[in-house]
Structure 1
C-alpha cells in the first residue's frame, strides 16, 4: 500500500467539519442546488489518465475546475456550483461568447493552479470536472481526497492539451448529456468544414501560431488547441517550428531566430504584452511574412480569449471573427 497522498487527510477533515457545521443537511443552504433531472440515471464510467471513474448517481452539485469546463457544462444545461477563471476575465469568469450564463448568480471562483480546497469542500460537490488542467498527479489526488468522482485529463493527454472534442466527450458522458454533446460536436465540425470549403486557399498553406510574452517569443506545436484550430481549416503547422517540438506545448524562439515565425501566414497572440508593442517591434517587422502583410495579430481581447478558450463554445465565436482576417492576410 502506498502512503496517503499529500492533502488527503487535510481535505477529508475539512469536509467532515463542513458537514458537521451544516447540521443535518449535507448541502450548505447558502449555495444554490444545481438542477437535477428526472431521476432516471444509469451509472456511467469515464476513462481518464488516472483510471476509470464511475459516476453512480446523477450529478447535482458539479464543480468545474478545468480550463473551459464551466463553458461546456453550461452549454449542456448544467449550472456549476463552483468554478475557475482560467482566462482572467474577472467577475463570473465567462467571456462574451458564452450564451448560457450562470443562474441565478455566479458560483464561487475557486482558483486555477492553486485551488481553494477549504472553499471547495464547503460546496459539498458530488462531481468535480478537471478535464483540461496540468494533469499533475498531486492535484488529482488532492481533489480525489474529497471522496467524490473527479474527471481529470483524458488518457494520452498532457498538460492543458485536452482537445475540445475530448473535453466535450468527457463532460457530456459524466453529466449524462451525450446526445446534446454530440449535437454540439456535429455543429462545430460542420462549421469548420464549411469555413475550409469556402477558403480552399487555406489547404496546405503553412502557418505559425506564435506568442509574444513578457519572456519573449514562442510558437505552438502540433497537438495544441491553437494549432489544431488552424489544421481544421486546412493549414499545416510550419515544419521548421515542428522540428523543434518536444513534449512541451510550445517552443521558445530567440530574437536571433525570429525567422522561425515566417510562414505562408503568421498568427500571433500576446500574453501580458500590449498587442501594439508587438506590431511596432522592429525585429518582428523584419519577418518576411510580417513585412509582406501576411500576419494577423490578435488585437481584440474578446476574440483572443475565445480562441484561447478552445472550447466548443468559444471556438465558433473565434471562427466567425478570425477566418475573414486569415483569408485577407493570406491573399497578400
Structure 2
C-alpha cells in the first residue's frame, strides 16, 4: 500500500484531526512504568516472547517496564490492557494524555507526547523504553529499523498494509508483546459481545446498505472495507454500499466528486466533517439532494468524542461508539 502523499490522503485517514504533524511533546519525564498502569491486570505471559512483524520476528526478553506507543491506537490498546506508556503519539490530537475520554483517568502520570509521522528518535531514546509499539502507522522499514536501534519494536504483522491492522489483530499483537494475552482475549470477547448485542437489538441493521463518507475543505470522500469505520458498520450487520466498494483500490477511501455525490445515497448514510464545521455539510445544497437526507436516513456525526471513538479503531473506542452511535443509526432507520 502506498504511503499517503497528499493532505487529502492524510485528512481522510482521520476522523477529526488524524495525521497531525504537530502533536509535539509535553515537558514531562514520562509516566509510570508499564506494570503500574491499570493496577488490576498483571502479566499473563511468560517471557521471553517472540512476536512476528512485517520486518521479521521480534523478541521481547522481559516484561516491559517502559513502553513507548507510537502507532495509531497503540497507546489506547496498551492502556486497556493495564499498561501505561511513558511516551505516546496523539494521532487524534486529544491533547493532555493523548487518549479519548473513554480512557480518562487510566494514567497515573501523563505520557510524553511524540509526533506521529515524523517522531523524534532522540525524544524516544531519552525515555529509555524497553519496548516500542508501532503496529498501526506508516509501515516504513527505515522507521522500523531506526526505532529498533532504540528498543525492540513491534510493527504491523506480516501481510498487513500500513494503517490496516484491525482492532482484533492489534489487540492480539500488543497483548503478546506486553504479556497480557489473557486480558486481550477478555477484551476482545467483550467487544464481540457488544456487537452481537447491538445486532440482536437492531435486526434492521442486518444486510442494510450503508455509505460512510467524510467532507473536508477539499471535498467529499467515501470509505471502503479495511477502514475502521466501515469495519465497525459491517460488524453491526450493515453492508458497505457495493457501488462504493467496487471503487476500492489499494487505499481504504475513494474520492467523491460533487458530480458523484449520489454515491453517498444509501438506505443509511453516515458522514462526518474533517477540519471543517458540520454545518458545511448540512447546509450544502448538494447534500440536501440526496434521497437519504430527504428521507431522514442520513446521520452527520458532529460530536467530537463520538466521532473520534467511531474512527479510533481500538477496542475501548469501539465500545464507546457502540453505546453512543448505535442509537443514532437506529433513529435514522426509524427504530
User: TM-score, length-normalised on structure 2?
Assistant: 0.87
Q: Sort the Cα spacing of 1:291 and 1:175 in 2 relative to 1 into closer, same or farther, 3 A.
A: same
Equivalent residue number for residue 25 of structure 2: none
Q: Secondary structure at the match of 1:313?
A: helix
Equivalent residue number for residue 114 of structure 1: 118
Distance 2:260 2:128 in 1: 51
Equivalent residue number for residue 260 of structure 2: 257
- Alpha-carbon distance, 1:30 to partner: 4.7
Q: Sort the Cα spacing of 1:200 and 1:83 in 2 relative to 1 into closer, same or farther, 3 A.
A: same
- Alpha-carbon distance, 1:323 to partner: 0.5
Equivalent residue number for residue 66 of structure 1: 71
Q: Deviations over 1:307-327 (max 9, x none)?
A: 111100111111111101101
Distance 1:175 1:309 in 2: 21
- Alpha-carbon distance, 1:138 to partner: 2.2
- Alpha-carbon distance, 1:109 to partner: 0.4
* 2:12 is aligned with 1:34: no
Given that 2:88 and 2:112 are in contact with CA atoms closer than 8 Å, whether structure 1 keeps it comes out as yes
- Alpha-carbon distance, 1:271 to partner: 0.7
Equivalent residue number for residue 234 of structure 2: 231
Q: Deviations over 1:56-101 (max 9, x none)?
A: 1111110000111111111111111111110011121121111452
Structure 1 runs not aligned, ≥5 long: 1-28
Distance 1:260 1:172 in 2: 39
Equivalent residue number for residue 21 of structure 1: none
Equivalent residue number for residue 131 of structure 1: 135
How many residues are aligned here?
Answer: 302
* 2:307 is aligned with 1:308: no
Q: Secondary structure at the match of 2:86?
A: coil
* 2:146 is aligned with 1:142: yes
Distance 2:44 2:206 in 1: 48
User: TM-score, length-normalised on structure 1?
Assistant: 0.87
Equivalent residue number for residue 186 of structure 1: 189
Correspondence for 2:59 among 49, 54, 78:
54
* 2:222 is aligned with 1:219: yes
Distance 2:175 2:43 in 1: 17
Given that 1:74 and 1:100 are in contact with CA atoms closer than 8 Å, whether structure 2 keeps it comes out as no
4+ long deviations beyond 3 Å:
29-33, 35-41
The structure with more radius of gyration: 1
Across the aligned residues of Structure 1 and Structure 2, the Cα RMSD in angstroms comes to 1.8
Q: Higher relative contact order at CA 8 Å, sep ≥6: structure 1 or structure 2?
A: 2
* 2:243 is aligned with 1:240: yes
Distance 1:180 1:100 in 2: 19
Distance 1:189 1:327 in 2: 19
Q: Sort the Cα spacing of 1:127 and 1:35 in 2 relative to 1 into closer, same or farther, 3 A.
A: closer
Q: Secondary structure at the match of 2:271?
A: strand
Q: Sort the Cα spacing of 1:31 and 1:299 in 2 relative to 1 into closer, same or farther, 3 A.
A: closer
- Alpha-carbon distance, 1:156 to partner: 2.1
Distance 2:156 2:236 in 1: 25
- Alpha-carbon distance, 1:35 to partner: 4.4
Matches within 5 A, 1:85-104: 85-103=90-108
- Alpha-carbon distance, 1:186 to partner: 0.3
* 2:171 is aligned with 1:168: yes
Q: Sort the Cα spacing of 1:39 and 1:186 in 2 relative to 1 into closer, same or farther, 3 A.
A: closer
Correspondence for 1:84 among 65, 75, 89:
89
Distance 1:189 1:304 in 2: 21
Q: Sort the Cα spacing of 1:169 and 1:100 in 2 relative to 1 into closer, same or farther, 3 A.
A: farther
Distance 2:78 2:43 in 1: 18
Given that 1:202 and 1:235 are in contact with CA atoms closer than 8 Å, whether structure 2 keeps it comes out as yes
